[in-house]
Structure 1
Amino acid sequence: MALSDTKLRSIHGKPYSGPSEVSDADGLSVRISPKGVITFQFRYRWNGKPQRLGLGRYPAMPLKDARTLVGELRLMYDGGKDPRTYFENTTGESMMTVGDCLCYWKEQYVDVALRPMTRALYTSTVIKHLGNAFPGRAIGDITVKQWVDFFAKEEKENPRRARQLLSQARTAIGWCIRRQVIDNASIMRISPRDVGVRAETGSRVLTYSELAGIWIAIERSRAATSNKLLHQMLMLWGARVSELRLSERREFDLSEGVWTVPKEHSKMNNVIRRPIFEQIKPLLEKAMQTYDQVLFPGADTEAPITIAAANRYILRIREGMDIGYWRAHDFRRTLVTRLSEEGVAPHVTERMLGHELGGVMAVYNKHDWIEDQRRAYELHADKLFWHIRKAAG
């Protein structure tokens, strides 16, 4: 009978009198002690003799990770390699520090398997903030109390970030444990729900008066032209920040009036087409006249403005206003909400956001509704600019 999380949770840590071994598939099974201690193992035959490899204990190793690991071991076995070599450790990893572990995870997994935007996220968060944690100490020697004290300090600075850092650290360190780079780490015993606060699902919908106030504040701010244009165009297009931030001149076809976002710049790895409508064309042309291939550069004119610099700019704008908390991502929600109030169809607003359509339509309907998008964007821009003129007197 295959294993399940429900079954394992019902057994873990409780008196147990059932079978001492329960099989799953592909050689994966668990050994269960009378006290409910569950250990994953991989069983196979090598040179005619039965072999058993311990993989890790539940719940520090989730069932899905055990299955993933067994899949890798099975590939080795089918390729004629002894799975025991997967766990050979000859480079002194048992003395790995937190920084060593994060570096190994980054080099062997993050930089190899993840997309650039995800790599940048991990680099700017967990690797930046935990890379120098507990210097010179083996990760296995750090106690739960010491980890709790570390994250308590992070909570005081930024509760949301503290929880995010713990979740990401558990991901990285769990990866190292599954590959037997380290034996264990007490951080895996701390639940993210016990640290900081969960990032709230965005719900802010700005009014046109608030959008106008933000636009004027951006216009009057002392910032680089690229940063100002970036956020004003985000307000009009409702694009994700990185879709526009990373954009290059070649993506914009002024003759056809279409901006094509390549899949490597989109969150969902899909090509997105948006119209270059009348009200946004002057802003786009200004960016093209001011800069070269990279239309929204930072200090280095050959590279896009960083997400950190863009976020700092919005923080300065927000602190100078009295309209409560908002962020650039709220421009997307505001665009769609306000246009829905005007009767713009959902399939059009979904395309404006760069979303794929659901169900069978996602498979068969690849139409972009460019002209419908154009009319909707022009309606949104007309309303915004009317409120800007009103606010500016």
Structure 2
Amino acid sequence: MAISDSYLKSCLGREREKVEEKADRDGLWVRVSKKGAVTFFYRYRFLGKQDKMTIGSYPAFSLKAAREEVDKWAAVLARGENPRIRQGLDKAHITSRRTFEELFREWHAMVCIQKSSADQVLRTFELHVFPKLGKYPADQLTMHNWLTVLDRLAEGYTEITKRVISNGKQCYSWAVKRQLLEMNPLAELTGRDFGIQKKMGERTLNRKEIAIVWRAMEDSRLIERNKILFKLCLFWGCRVGELRLSEVQHFDFEEGVWTIPWENHKTGTKSKKPLIRPIIPEIVPLLSRAIALAPGKYVFSRYADSAMSPSFHLSISANLVKFMLKAYKEQVPHFTVHDLRRTARTNFSDLADPHIAEIMLGHKLPGVWSVYDKHNYLDEMRNAYCKWWARLMSIIEPDILEFTPRQTG
């Protein structure tokens, strides 16, 4: 005889001397404990053997819901699967579900951490993604969910939007390969879908701008360590990250060489080779002062045991522009540290052969040239840097007409 709702209600919470079981239909049974707890379970035969599985507890699980569950598991049985084992696997899958933040942090710790920009990537997601999407199961987020975040982000932060798309896409692809997710909702998205066009930087500082920016570095309340950092970025034409991660031990004043370990420069992840740049006598005072200011091993950090964050320099240029307008009544267009690198490279073209200029930037020689030519060109770079410093000084101090390099020692 089938079970009724009235029967279940009469059993609920009423104590009895022994456990009672009663059949409904299609393999659905109900068990009533001595304390009056009512539980549904499904009995079936698999490969000729009796088996059973728990469906749920009444009244949280209604009789109608229990019957529908039995129909679902009967279909699983008809496909040749053991319903109890399938139920266990499904529960394990639900238990192992990661929120998007958990998934991203797992990918970041395993894969992204190898990038030089790893800290910057994580900080971007902590600020712009996790507060909106981080708490939701990664496998339930759709492209529509992402578009609500990316559309708003693209209105004011084009570079950050591209970073979120790129790294979010990589995280999802990694999860799909590991069968943690079935699909990548960002797979088809690019910056172009948000009106973001990839463009090459064109900003270089002219002679007047170089002079006034250098003067502003001297006159402003910019921290001395950062003043030196910007001057050296303009002199060497290096990436700011190479100086940010530089340690005292990387500077050899006797040999006149700055060595950038392969982990600290952009092409190092592929080449596994360090970069070397000459230290000319004229910049020794700047470097010596920076090292004297450093509280620990990192030359351009205010921390004793860690480097500054990858984005620590981003506000410096804007502050200098504001200072120049206020102090000198000069409206200098916004520039970035990378624009200083581009400015240096543009001037290198007048001072050195093209291949030397490229090596000074840390670029490798093209094609088979780099395969067979293992010369370090240190002397050639040193000569070019001496000429570049001379030009800088003639720009900053117009009275300087001729420059003679100092002798080391």
Same-fold call, TM cutoff 0.5? yes
Q: State the shift of 1:241 in Å.
A: 0.8
1:349 match: 357
2:102 is matched by which residue type in structure 1?
D
Q: Contact between 1:294 and 1:301, CA under 8 Å: does it hold in 2?
A: yes
Q: State the shift of 1:324 in Å.
A: 1.9
1:9 match: none
1:374 match: 382
SS of residue matched to 1:92: helix
1:230 is matched by which residue type in structure 2?
L
2:220 match: 221
Q: State the shift of 1:94 in Å.
A: 6.8
SS of residue matched to 1:133: helix
SS of residue matched to 1:122: helix
TM-score by length of 1: 0.69
Map Cα deviations across residues 206-249 of structure 1 (whole Å, 9 max, x no partner): 22221222111122222322211111111111111111111111
Alpha-carbon spacing, 1:244–1:101, altered in 2? closer, same or farther (3 Å): same
Alpha-carbon spacing, 1:191–1:275, altered in 2? closer, same or farther (3 Å): closer
2:41 match: none
Map Cα deviations across residues 275-304 of structure 1 (whole Å, 9 max, x no partner): 111321110121233335535343423322
1:341 is matched by which residue type in structure 2?
D
The two structures, once aligned, show a CA RMSD in angstroms of 2.7
For residues 105 and 351 of structure 1, the distance between their equivalents in structure 2, rounded to whole angstroms, comes to: 34
Of residues 384, 389, 392, the one that matches 2:392 is 384
Which structure would you say has the larger Rg?
A: 2
Alpha-carbon spacing, 1:127–1:170, altered in 2? closer, same or farther (3 Å): farther
1:263 is matched by which residue type in structure 2?
W
1:280 match: 283
Q: Which blocks of at least 5 consecutive residues in structure 2 are unaligned?
A: 1-88, 325-330, 400-409
SS of residue matched to 1:259: strand
1:260 match: 259
Q: Which moved more, 1:126-135 or 1:153-162?
A: 126-135
For residues 96 and 333 of structure 2, the distance between their equivalents in structure 1, rounded to whole angstroms, comes to: 49
2:112 match: 110
Q: State the shift of 1:253 in Å.
A: 1.4
Q: Contact between 1:215 and 1:388, CA under 8 Å: does it hold in 2?
A: yes
- Over the matched positions of the two proteins, sequence identity in percent amounts to 27
Alpha-carbon spacing, 1:282–1:247, altered in 2? closer, same or farther (3 Å): same
Query: Which structure has more RCO (C-alpha within 8 Å, separation ≥ 6)?
Result: 1
Map Cα deviations across residues 87-126 of structure 1 (whole Å, 9 max, x no partner): 9994536743221221232234334xx24x1422322323
1:307 is matched by which residue type in structure 2?
P
For residues 267 and 166 of structure 2, the distance between their equivalents in structure 1, rounded to whole angstroms, comes to: 22
For residues 99 and 330 of structure 1, the distance between their equivalents in structure 2, rounded to whole angstroms, comes to: 34
Q: Contact between 1:94 and 1:182, CA under 8 Å: does it hold in 2?
A: no
SS of residue matched to 1:145: helix
Whether 1:313 and 2:319 are equivalent positions in the alignment is no
For residues 385 and 245 of structure 1, the distance between their equivalents in structure 2, rounded to whole angstroms, comes to: 25
Whether 1:360 and 2:368 are equivalent positions in the alignment is yes
1:324 match: 333
Whether 1:206 and 2:205 are equivalent positions in the alignment is yes
Q: Which moved more, 1:357-366 or 1:240-249?
A: 357-366
Number of residue pairs matched by the alignment? 302
For residues 166 and 127 of structure 2, the distance between their equivalents in structure 1, rounded to whole angstroms, comes to: 14
Map Cα deviations across residues 152-194 of structure 1 (whole Å, 9 max, x no partner): 2112231232233122212212221222212235444544321
For residues 372 and 187 of structure 1, the distance between their equivalents in structure 2, rounded to whole angstroms, comes to: 47
2:12 match: none
1:159 is matched by which residue type in structure 2?
T
Aligned pairs for 1:223-262 within 5 A: 223-262=222-261
2:348 match: 339
Q: State the shift of 1:328 in Å.
A: 0.9
For residues 336 and 368 of structure 1, the distance between their equivalents in structure 2, rounded to whole angstroms, comes to: 19
Q: State the shift of 1:379 in Å.
A: 1.4
Alpha-carbon spacing, 1:294–1:315, altered in 2? closer, same or farther (3 Å): farther
Alpha-carbon spacing, 1:301–1:219, altered in 2? closer, same or farther (3 Å): farther
SS of residue matched to 2:281: coil
1:329 is matched by which residue type in structure 2?
H
Q: Contact between 2:235 and 2:388, CA under 8 Å: does it hold in 1?
A: yes
Q: State the shift of 1:348 in Å.
A: 1.4
Q: State the shift of 1:383 in Å.
A: 1.5
TM-score by length of 2: 0.67
1:99 is matched by which residue type in structure 2?
E
Alpha-carbon spacing, 1:275–1:189, altered in 2? closer, same or farther (3 Å): closer
Whether 1:101 and 2:109 are equivalent positions in the alignment is no
Q: Which moved more, 1:151-160 or 1:139-148?
A: 139-148
SS of residue matched to 1:180: coil
Alpha-carbon spacing, 1:161–1:369, altered in 2? closer, same or farther (3 Å): same
2:274 match: 271
Q: Contact between 2:117 and 2:310, CA under 8 Å: does it hold in 1?
A: no
1:47 match: none
